[in-house]
Every structure is written in structure tokens, then in C-alpha cells.
A and B are shown apart, each in its own frame.
Chain A
Amino acid sequence: MNLGIRAALYTMRKWKKTLLLFCLLLSVTTLVLSGLAIADAQEEQAEEVRQTTGASFTVQRDLSSGGWSSGSGGSYSTQEFMTGDMIQKIAAVDGISGYDASLITLPRIFKENGKELEHENYSFYNYGSYNSQYHKLFLSGRFELIEGSHITDDMADGIIISKELADQNSLKIGDTLTGIYYPENNTPAVDMKIVGIFDVVADKDDQLNMYTDSSYYDYSSFVFCSMEAAEGLIKGWGEDGDGISEAYYYVTDAAQLDSVIKEVRNIPSINWNNYTITANDEVYQNISSSLTDTETLITTLIIVITVVSMVLMILILSMSIRSRKREIGILLAVGIAKPAVLLQYMLETLLIAMVAFPLACLSSQQVAGTLGTLFGKTAENVIVTPQHFELVVIAGGILLVVAILLSCIPVFRFKPKAILAQME
């Protein structure tokens, strides 16, 4: 009888033992697979956390390297403004999730019937914007979009207004407004369509501000319009004095901020003598050490799980071999070679493993999912990938073979007679 048949027979006839061993193998493999899936999920999740920290960098005109000129309202810099082309080029760099820049105009805005909108100030404080969701006022939570959508860089004539303004003038999404920068100077009139309405969350009454231009405007008189519309407002008028002096770029992964900025600096068509880059990842810096700690802890947990699983596997197999000492004695006594006996045991274990490993693949997915839902936690990113499975099959297979070898050593050190004599 060859050892293959012996292995098969043992596995079938001693089905209770086989079943127990199978269950143990299944559990341990499930544990390891779940561990691997969890390790990956946490990495993904940590990346997600880093994404939410709003790490950004600002590109702005370098006033120190440009000239100065004085005008009616004091001196102003003659440093070149940022061009739309340059802004788009930077935005195209990998790892940048969003960007915005502001072209500020102070237009007066009229309804379709030609009546000027009623509001708190003489004119409006208008941010020409590429993607208003990345505007500081929205990101900081001072404003909140409550209706419609943000301005995006593919909109030509969108405008978003405050709720207060909308209520005061009974405006709604879809209405068309006309903006004119200096009506008395016949600057172009630009038609814009209301695409969104925001609510003011911040306390405007808080004197915490630096009395910049905008601070002389009521928040309800703030509007955001498409960059194209803003450019239209100043067309042929004051283009030399008004322009985009800074642009904000938000990166996908705060940890990558450094390398993204380096890449931006390498864009050849931009004269970096005239612009500076400022990194801002304060939020990420604040949480990064705690985040790293969490990551380390989970990784350690997974390592502990894996090591323990390996030890368990060895313990279980050595137990099962030791209990078959008598059988080994008999097999040796009837003249079967030690390697053949060893091979038979390995074959048996691998037979079980062949069924247990794929099943563990399914069960690990189930275990994480079930436990997740049981306690109302989402576990959708805990996914067992084929790579995990491959790893477990290869490492697990090797481990099983080694474990059997190890547990056979003490038994094989004896002579067959000694083994038989030890039995009752």
C-alpha cells in the first residue's frame, strides 16, 4: 500500500480527527487572512484620514523680487500676476485633489429686470473662483453651501450667493444676474446664473479679523462667480491692476505634500523667481503622530496575530503527531521508511489544508463582515485579496511542512523498538 493511499484512508476513516484538525486549520487561517485584510484596510483608512486634513500649498506672487509702483491708493507691486494657464498646469500635477484661486472684483449686481440688488454694502465682494468648494471660507466652515452646487472650473457663468441675499431679493437657483464692475465707466456687463446658495456659519460680529478689504463687506454681500465671469467683469478695464495673486492647491495625501511641491517646482514653464510656494499642513502635523501611533498599533496587532497563529499551528500539529506515536511505531516495525511516514503525514495535512485554505478565504471575509454588522460598524474596506490568499497558501504550506518535521523529530529519534515499548 503506498503512502498516498494510507494518507487518504487515514483522512477518511479517522474523519472525526480530520474534522477537528480541519476546523483548527480553518480557524487559524481565517485569523491570519482577516488580519492581513485588516492591515490593508487600516492603511487605506489612514490614507483617507490624511486626505481629510486639507493639506495644501499656496502659490503666490513673490512681492520681494518684483518692482513697486505707487498709485492713488498707495504703492502697489508690479510683480506679474498668475496666469490661468499656469494655475491649470500646476493643478494637473499628480496628487493634487483640488485647487482654487481668487480674482477679486467689487461689482454691482442687477436683476433681470435691471433693478440693482438690495444688500448691506455699496458693491459686492466677488471672488472669481475656479472651484469654490476649495475656497478658504468654505473649507474653514465659515460658509456652508446649503443649496445647489459649487462653482467648478468647467462653469463659464455660475455665481453663488448668500442665503440672506437670496431671501432679501427673492432669488432662487437658476435665476440670472448681471454684474457690472464700474457702471459709471461702462465696464462690460456679465450675465451670471445662480448655481448655489450658501449660509453664513461664522460670526461676522467677531472682531477677530485683520481689516483686509473683505472685512469692510458684510458676509451677505459676498458672492463667488466663475473665473471666466470674473475675468469678463474686468475685461478692457483695470486688467493691469487686478489679477490673481495666489492660488491654493489641496493634495490627496498629506504625507505626499512634500513630493507634490517638489514636482510643482519642476514645472519648466513657470518662472519660480516670481512666485513662492507655502506649504500648509497644520492639521496633518497636529494629528500625524497620533495617526502613526494608531497605524503602528494595528500593524503590531496583525504581527502578533500572525506569529501567534504560526505557533498555534505548530502546537496543534505536534499534538496530532505525538498522539500517533503508536502508529509510527507499527509503521516503522513493518518496514516502512521514516521519510515515507513523514511524507504520509504531510500529505494528510496538505489534503486538509487544501480544503481549509480556500474556505478560510470565504470565512475571513464573512467573519469581518458579520462582526462588523453585529456591532454596527462598517467593514466594507476589509477585503481579502488574492494576494493575501497567495501569501497564506505559500507561507501556510511551508509552515505546515516545517511544523510536521519539527514534531516528528522527537518521535523519530527513537528506534522502532523503543517506540513500540513506550506504548501500552
Chain B
Amino acid sequence: MNLWKRAFLYSVRKKGKTATLLAFLLIMATLILTCLSIQSATKTATANMKKALLGYFTINARRLDMGITEETLDQILDMEGLSGKYTLRSYSYANYYDSDGTSLEINTEDAAQIPEGYEHAGRLIANSNSGEDSYFTEGGLELAEGNAITSENGNEVLVHEKFAKRNGLFLGDTILLGDPAKKNRTIPVTIVGIFTNTKEQDSIGMAPSYDLYDNIVFTNLSTASYLLYGAEDKTNVQYGDFYVNDPDELDRIIDETKKIPGVEWENCTLTRYDKDYQNAKESLEGLQNIVFIAIAVVSVICFLVLSLFLALRIRRRIHETGVYLAMGISKCAVLLQYLAEVFFAAVIALFLAYGTSSAISDQIGNRLLSQVTTETYETIDLTQDTKAAEQPTKDLGLSEVIVHVPTQNYLTVWCSDLVLCLASTALAAYPIMKMKPKSILSQMS
């Protein structure tokens, strides 16, 4: 009878023992696989946190003749590590005319001075999304009528309530924006929104006329591009804020950006902003370390328990070992038989473990985790006048935290578990195999 048959018969006939071994291996493999799936999920969660801490860098290309061109922008956006969230901005000044070309009136009363040539002009602000401009997010500007400007193209403007009133303008009216500097560029734009300020401008009496809230205008990037660069069908911008997935990579990304050809980078200013991340960095690393240590502890102890368990099992079979040896079956064959038995059980247990750990992981994923991608943030609503309550919900583009058993992990666990089982069986069997058959037989009785 060969050892495979003996191993098979042992596994089948000693149902209780095989079941215990199977249960043991199954539990261990499930535990380790679950741990690994949890670890990979925490990795996603941490990456989300890093992303949510909104590290970004700003390119200031104001001094370039053509600003940041569309081609450069495409190249920047193609770089690895960017989260895909970015804001483009341009700032200029414009003379205001009505559709007939008559100059419009601005607020001059509160101004410290009215620079020459700017008697009918104001600051022009173009942003990928006017609602996200700091005037609105921090400065207390608020839309009173109409909509924010969210598209790059389209000749639209937002004007101040007082400016509209002063010049008898309404939503839907068309005005002309002209370049105050030199080049006779004018562009017709439609008023799509009227804003007002909730806070007093504190630089009243200090600011030149064009900086007064009353006199500023928000517009599309393309409009600003035309006025600044004369680019008709292309949109060049002065500034870009580019958000990254992992603030740790900011330096690399900035370095890579500077390698994009065709741009005089020496005339640009690139600034990194990752204070929030820098603040949280250490604690986040601590959190990751804890996950890592947890997994490491589990793995090490699992392996320890498993080897002890297998040692216990082998010790129970001294008697049988003695009989086989007395029959002239070689130690090697006996050991191989024991290994084969554990192998059978391990193979089955590891297959089953995939199922059980997947089931557990699914439960964790479905029941316990908040699904960040679909979740909208609940902001603290303390009183009717807290600002936080008014904040719009945000989409940070975070990845969904999925708890699942990764195939690669599975294979690793598979192989390492098998090796471990076999090694610990061999190790446990070693003292028995070293004994003389006679002492084994005398120990039995």
C-alpha cells in the first residue's frame, strides 16, 4: 500500500481529526485573508484621506506672453498622480460698454483713486467655476440672481447688483468688455448672474476704483483669454491649481511639470500647498502603522498557532509511527504520508477560505463602511447664521473603499500557508523520526 493511499485512508477514516485539522486551517487561512483584505481596504481609505486633504500646486504663468496654453494644460493633466480636480484662473481689467458701445458707469465714490484709462473699467475675474472663487468662498459674495459661471467657453458675465442698478442692466442683457491697455479688443458678453456682497469691503477708501466689489466682473476663461492674449478659439489661462492624489508626490509632480517642453518655466512660479496634509501626515502614518502592525501580529501568531497545532497532532501519532517503522516502512515514507494528509486538508481549507473570507469581507464592505463616493457630507448646522450650513456638498472624487480578497494576496497566502503547514509538520515530526523504532514502540505501550 503506498503512502498516498494511506494518507487518503487516514483522512477519510479519522473524520473527527481531519475535520478538526480542516477547521483549524480554514480558520487560519480565513483570518489571514480577511486581514489582508482589510489591509488593502485601509490602504484605499488612507489614500482617500490623503486625497481629501487636498494637496495642490499652483502655476503662476502671469508673466508668460501666452500664459498656460491648452497644449501645456493637456500635458500637465496627463501626468500621473493628479486627482483630476483643477481650477484655472485668469485676471485682467476690462472697460465696460453697453451694447451700443457707450461706456458704463462704475463706483468711483469709495475709491482711493481712479487710475487713468480705467474710468469705466473694473477687475475681470475668470475661474473654471465662479462659485469656487475666493470672492464667493471667503469674501462673502453671493449670487442674488441667475447662475454661476461654470463653463470655460461662452461669453458670460456676473455683475454686481449695484453696478447693474447704476447702469440699468438686467439678466440676459449684453454688454461689451474691452481691453483697457492698448489692443483694440472688445467682446460682447451676456449677463447670466447678478451678485451682491454680504460683508463690507474693508479696503474701501484704500483700493483703486477697479478693485471695488461694485466694479468687478466675473467671466468665462475664454473671454479673459481673448482679452489677455487675443486668442480667439483657444483658451489660455494665467493660473492653474492642480490637485494631486497623494500630497507626498507633490515634489515629484512639480519637478515633472517643470520638464514639460515649450514653456519658459523660469518665468513661472510654482507653489505647493499641502499644509493640511503636512499637519495630518504624521498621525496618518501612525494610523497606517497600526494597521500594519495588527496584520503582522495576526500573521505571525497565526503561523505560530498553526505550527503548534500541527506539532500536537503529530505527537498523537507516535504509536502509529512505531508500527510503521517496525514494518520496515521508511521514516521518509511515514513523514511523507503525514505531509500528504496535511496537504490534502490544506488544499481544501484554502479553497474554502477564499469563499469564507470573501463572504466576511463583503459583509464588512456592505454593512460597515460609509460609501464615500455616493455620500454627501452632512455639515454641522448650529444656527441659522452659521456659514458651514450653507456650504454646498462636495464631490472629492474619492475611490470606493472595497473590502475584497485580492487574488495576488490569495496566492501568497496559499503558497505560504502550504509551505508553513508542511514545514511545521516536518519540524514536529523531527523528534519522533529521530528516535529509534524500539524506543518509539516502548513509548507506545
Contact = CB atoms under 8 A, between A and B. Distances in A.
Complex contact flag A–B (Cβ < 8 Å)? yes
Interface in A365-399: 367-368, 371-372, 375, 377-379, 381-382
B290 A42 contact: yes
Contact of A367 (B278, B295, B300): B300
Given A277-B386, A300-B38, A316-B309, A35 B45 contact: no
B24 A315 contact: yes
Contacts of B302: 31
A374 B363 CA distance: 33
Contact of A41 (B35, B134, B290): B290
By size class, the interface of chain A is: 35 or more
A258 B380 contact: yes
A307 to B, nearest CB: 9
Given A202-B271, A297-B364, A368 B276 contact: no
Contacts of A209: 134
Contact of B206 (A213, A278, A296, A368): A213
A298 B286 CA distance: 13
B315 A368 contact: no
A30 interface: yes
B167 interface: no
A35 B296 CA distance: 11
B104 interface: no
Given A49-B280, A203-B269, A290-B398, A300 B368 contact: yes
B280 A372 contact: no
Contacts, number: 281
Interface in A258-296: 258, 261-262, 276-283, 285-294, 296
A297 B42 contact: yes
Contacts of A139: 275
A418 to B, nearest CB: 16
B409 interface: no
Contacts of B292: 375, 377
Interface in B293-331: 293-298, 300-302, 304-305, 308-309, 311-312, 315-316
Contacts of B204: 73-74
A124 B271 CA distance: 25
Interface stretch (B156-164, B175-183, B342-350, B371-379): B371-379
Interface string B361-399: 000100011101001010110110111100100101010
Interface string A310-321: 011001101110
A2 interface: no
A151 interface: no
A16 B308 CA distance: 12
Interface string B33-76: 01100100110011011001110001010100000000000000
B401 interface: yes
B49 to A, nearest CB: 4
A319 B383 CA distance: 63
A382 B290 contact: yes
Contact of A290 (B52, B294, B298, B380): B52
Interface of B: prevailing SS:
helix
A38 B316 contact: no
B31 interface: yes
B38 A74 contact: no
A409 interface: no
A213 B398 CA distance: 38
A319 B20 contact: yes
Interface in A66-85: 72-77
Nearest to A377: B289
A283 B276 contact: yes
Interface stretch (A20-28, A166-174, A331-339, A342-350): A20-28
A312 B27 contact: yes
A302 interface: yes
B276 A24 contact: no
B379 A285 contact: yes
B116 interface: no
B311 A206 contact: no
A205 B61 CA distance: 10
A257 interface: yes
A381 B60 contact: no
Contact of B203 (A216, A319, A377): A216
A281 B380 contact: yes
A27 B427 CA distance: 18
Contact of B60 (A62, A201, A203, A319): A203
B364 A300 contact: yes
A88 interface: no
B198 to A, nearest CB: 9
Contacts of B300: 367, 371
A38 B297 contact: yes
Contacts of A280: 387-388
B287 to A, nearest CB: 5
Nearest to B389: A279
Given A291-B49, A293-B369, A298 B305 contact: no
Interface string B80-98: 0000000001010000000
B403 interface: yes
B150 to A, nearest CB: 18
Interface in B7-38: 16, 20, 23-24, 27, 30-31, 34-35, 38
Contact of A293 (B16, B286, B372): B372
Nearest to B284: A49
B380 A279 contact: yes
B142 interface: no
A49 B54 CA distance: 15
27 contacts: A31-B298, A34-B294, A38-B297, A53-B276, A73-B206, A75-B200, A140-B275, A201-B271, A207-B62, A207-B239, A212-B203, A216-B203, A277-B386, A279-B386, A281-B380, A283-B276, A287-B48, A289-B375, A290-B45, A293-B41, A298-B38, A301-B34, A304-B31, A308-B30, A375-B292, A375-B296, A379-B293
Interface of B: 16, 20, 23-24, 27, 30-31, 34-35, 38, 41-42, 45-46, 48-49, 52-54, 58, 60, 62, 89, 91, 110, 123, 134-135, 138-139, 199-207, 211, 238-239, 269, 271, 273-276, 278-280, 282-284, 286-287, 289-298, 300-302, 304-305, 308-309, 311-312, 315-316, 360, 364, 368-370, 372, 375, 377, 379-380, 382-383, 385-388, 391, 394, 396, 398, 401, 403
Interface of A: 16-17, 20, 23-24, 27-28, 30-31, 34-35, 38, 41-42, 45-46, 48-49, 51-54, 62-63, 72-77, 139-141, 201-203, 205-213, 215-216, 257-258, 261-262, 276-283, 285-294, 296-298, 300-302, 304-305, 308, 311-312, 315-316, 318-320, 322-323, 367-368, 371-372, 375, 377-379, 381-382
The list of the 8 closest CB pairs from A to B, nearest first, reads A73-B205, A141-B275, A377-B289, A286-B52, A290-B48, A211-B211, A48-B283, A210-B139
